Amino acid sequence: MAGGGPGYEKQEKAPMDPESLLLDVRREKIDRVISQRTRTFTIVLDRLEDSFNMAAVMRTCEANGLQEVHVIVNPAAPFMPNSRVGQGCDKWLDVKLYKDFASCREHLKSRGFSLYASAIREDAQSLYSLRFDSKIALIFGNERDGVSQEVLDGSDGTFWIPMRGFSQSLNISAAASACVTRAISWREEHLGRVGDLTEAEAQVLRERFYMLAVKQRRRIFKKSAPAQP
């Protein structure tokens, strides 16, 4: 006798909600991190060569609440941050790669950013004279040559980190760390906050971070996804 009816129809599982798989303490930490995230202060890396430095700068940015890192790729050195140094920080960041400075500048300028390049020049401003209450991107050059002439010509200004010892330069990762720390502390002191995401931006990031926080997410969500017709 032939069967049929709803009891015999294939049941599709509803997709799992990542939020339901996280402990309250984990969700609270993610929400706290997102509340302190910024997309109005960012770092640009100009043709770095060393994978350690690439990873160290990214880790500094993520730890301090920056959501974006912009990278002008060095044709002679692929952008491959050292995973042991980065400790997985890249998954929480938006890392944007560009083949040249012109395309990076166009993208940031279209969003209202001012661009300041790190360079020791007579007309360079002290890091401590910069204000961080508007959209600003700090550009750091590679380990041997610093920022390119193209960057110098296309930036809104240059800045330098005042030195008080016999050493008059810092490694790129140390310089970036000093500048990011300064910018974030300036915002906390003058604006009373660091985070500035819109509610829409925060929600998009929240959904993404909840998913990323689920262990074995690839196996779980692959199985829970409805079959394609």
Q: Determine the Cα–Cα distance for residues 55 and 73; give it in Å rounded to an integer.
A: 14
Q: Which domains does the chain have, with CATH numbers?
A: 24-160+169-205 (3.40.1280.10)
Q: What is the pLDDT of residues 203-213, one digit of tens each?
A: 999 999 999 98
Q: Quick one: pLDDT at residue 17? A: 65
Q: What is the pLDDT of residues 25-35, one digit of tens each?
A: 989 999 999 99
Q: Quick one: pLDDT at residue 20? A: 61
Q: How far apart are the first and last CA of the chain?
A: 29
Q: What is the pLDDT of residues 88-97, one digit of tens each?
A: 999 999 999 9
DSSP 90: G
Q: What is the pLDDT of residues 126-151, one digit of tens each?
A: 999 999 999 999 999 999 999 999 99
In sequence order, the 6+-apart residues with CB closer than 8 A to the CB of 180 are 43, 60, 61, 64, 66
Q: Quick one: pLDDT at residue 224? A: 44
Q: Quick one: pLDDT at residue 21? A: 67
DSSP-based three-state secondary structure for 96: strand
**CA of residue 54 relative to chain centroid, distance:** 12
Q: Determine the Cα–Cα distance for residues 210 and 21; give it in Å rounded to an integer.
A: 9
Mean pLDDT of the chain: 89
DSSP 111: T
Q: How confident is the model at residue 15 (pLDDT cuts 50, 70, 90)?
A: low
